[in-house]
Amino acid sequence: MGALDKYIGIPFESGGRDESGVDCWGLVRMYYSDIMKIDLPSLDGKYESAFHTEIVRDLVDITKPVIKAKPVEEPRSGDIAVVKLAGIPCHVGVYLEPGYVLHAERGKDSCAERVSILSRRARIEGYYRVEN
């Protein structure tokens, strides 16, 4: 993946926000800052653990309008993928063409995974484009 190698293999850390460890939002935020040149809110202190799915779900909903994220039908590289885990939209990643999602989840280092593989374990709730 070349330029994206920096984002692959980062250890998962709940609340992590840098190359030493990230959770899903930390990885999205890092990618947006570096690649898209957009500073997304840190959400530091907004949740005690990335595993509190109800709290994270609410944060995902609250954050969409704050970052001016609009739903899109056809994703393109850089769009935020919101993923349902156990039916709750509480996981995020970055859509990468052609058909991958860059994400970080518990028990794995960050990775770029095919949407079809991710969808076997979870379900994409939607894709969102952040407006500058």
For 60-85, how does the pLDDT look when each residue is reduced to its tens digit (9 = 90+)? 888 888 899 999 999 999 999 999 88
Structural domain tally of the chain? 1
Show the domain range for 87: 2-130
Calpha distance 40→71 (Å, rounded):
17
User: What does the CA dihedral 126, 37, 40, 15 come to, rounded to 10 degrees?
Assistant: 90
Give the per-residue pLDDT at 46. Answer: 65
Rounded distance, CA 125 to CA 92, Å?
A: 10
Instruction: State the pLDDT at residue 125.
Output: 92
CATH number for the domain including 124? Answer: 3.90.1720.10
pLDDT under 50: residue ranges of the chain: none
Q: Is the pTM of this model over 0.75?
A: yes
SS3 content of the chain, % helix, strand, coil (to 5): 30, 30, 40
Give the SS3 label for residue 70: strand
